[in-house]
Amino acid sequence: MVLLVSPLSSPNACGMKASLSPAPPLDHARNLWPHDYSEFCETIDRYNKEMKKLAERVMHLMLQSLGLNEDDLDWAGPVKDLQEVSGVLQLNSYPSCPDPDRAMGLAAHTDSSLLTILHQNSTSGLQVLRAQDIYGPARWVTIPPLPGALVINIGDLSHILSNGRFHSVLHRAVVNRIRHRYSMAYICGPPAHAKVSPLRPSSGRPVFRAVTWPEYLGLKGKLFNQALASIRVSDETWEDHNNASVITCV
Ligand SMILES: O=C(O)CCC(=O)C(=O)O
Ligand SMILES: [Fe+2]
């Protein structure tokens, strides 16, 4: 089961609204706990706010580590204005499965976000694909839940923004034979109107074309794990673009 909630621009009793889920979360919560749904709503609201603050701090640090400053962020204004970052909270529930090898909790994917902050309950299930290295071929590695720890996944939009210097991570969730697993993913991205494009590419040229988050989500829906490749700018396109610019300037 997946429930998606995002902050409301004008708060209601629950302080959140449905993003992609079929019924508004407030209605869902009322159905589940007809006599006391407010505790759930208030907790989610508090969690959302804390995650937003954390996401902004982490984004700030990531941009700093790329050598970027406030003036480089034309999609969200200066870095200090990163409160514009928007987020959706996705609640994942994976019931136990007697034959886990024949079931998949969540298929392998990269997140379409800038970054995703994940909380797992005490049952492990998150795995990331580690590329081939001197220790062996490509393999799935379990990220064990640690008390009090959150996992931060780099999403495709950070991959684009950093021109490939931060890699979005292929991950999946497997199910447990006897234990029910829960996770909460705070999926963070830029404002919907903002175009995300490579900032100060170290390689000399941008490897990806600019996209908005909604446009990229559309591509992901159609092309799934090929979406990132689909917005790569090929060497030929780049050369054509450069030649065209030269001709225009002359
Ligand atoms: O449940 C997990 O550990 C992974 C969740 C996830 O990857 C997602 O919600 O995008
Ligand atoms: Fe994910």
pLDDT at 5: 54
**Nearest atom, ligand 1, residue 185 CA:** 9
Ligand 1 center–CA 58 separation, angstroms: 19
The pTM for the full model equals 0.84
Mean pLDDT for all residues in the chain? 82
pLDDT at 81: 45
Ligand nearest to the CA of 94: 1
Query: What per-residue string of b and e applies to 59-93 under the rule 16 or more CB within 10 Å gives b?
Result: beebbeebebeeeebebbeebeebeebbbbbbbbe
pLDDT-derived band at 166 (thresholds 50, 70, 90) equals very high
Half-sphere exposure (CA, 13 Å, Cβ side) for 58?
22
Residues 238 and 248: their CA atoms lie apart, in Å, by 15
Ligand nearest to the CA of 151: 1
- Ligand 1, pocket residues at CB < 6 Å: 90, 92, 106, 111, 116, 118, 120, 125-126, 171, 173, 183, 185
pLDDT at 55: 92
In the predicted structure, residue 244 carries a pLDDT above the cut 60: no
Ligand 2 center–CA 113 separation, angstroms: 9
Point out the catalytic residue in the list 139, 172, 181, 209.
181
pLDDT at 194: 84
* Closest Cα to atom 7 of ligand 1: 172
* Closest Cα to atom 10 of ligand 1: 111
pLDDT at 157: 95
Among 52-66, 82-96, 134-148, where is mean pLDDT lowest?
Answer: 82-96
Q: For the chain, which domains are there?
A: 2-192 (2.60.120.330)
pLDDT-derived band at 2 (thresholds 50, 70, 90) equals low
Ligand 1 center–CA 136 separation, angstroms: 25
| Percentage of the chain lying above the pLDDT 90 cut | 58
* 208, 124 contact by CB (below 8 A): no
| Percentage of the chain lying above the pLDDT 70 cut | 77
In the predicted structure, residue 95 carries a pLDDT above the cut 70: yes
Which residue would you say has higher pLDDT here, 22 or 64? 64
**Nearest atom, ligand 1, residue 111 CA:** 10
Ligand nearest to the CA of 184: 1
pLDDT-derived band at 70 (thresholds 50, 70, 90) equals low
pLDDT-derived band at 72 (thresholds 50, 70, 90) equals low
Tokens 């990269």 belong to: 110
Ligand 1 center–CA 56 separation, angstroms: 20
Give me 40's structure tokens.
């759930």
pLDDT at 240: 61
3-class DSSP assignment, residue 160: helix
pLDDT at 17: 33
Q: What is the ipTM of this complex?
A: 0.99
- Mind listing the pLDDT tens digit for each residue in 104-131? 999 999 999 999 999 999 999 999 999 9
pLDDT at 235: 73
**Nearest atom, ligand 1, residue 151 CA:** 3
* Pocket perturbation via mutation, ligand 1, pick of 51, 89, 116 by most ligand atoms within 8 A of CB: 116
- Identify the CA nearest to 41 among candidates 13, 78, 6: 13
- Mind listing the pLDDT tens digit for each residue in 6-63? 443 333 333 333 334 456 777 888 888 888 888 888 999 999 999 999 998 898 888 8
Q: What residues pair up with 167 in beta bridges, in sequence order? A: none
Ion ligand 2 contact residues with beta carbon within 5 A: 111
Decide if 139 is catalytic.
no
pLDDT at 67: 80
pLDDT at 78: 41
In the predicted structure, residue 134 carries a pLDDT above the cut 60: yes
In the predicted structure, residue 94 carries a pLDDT above the cut 90: yes
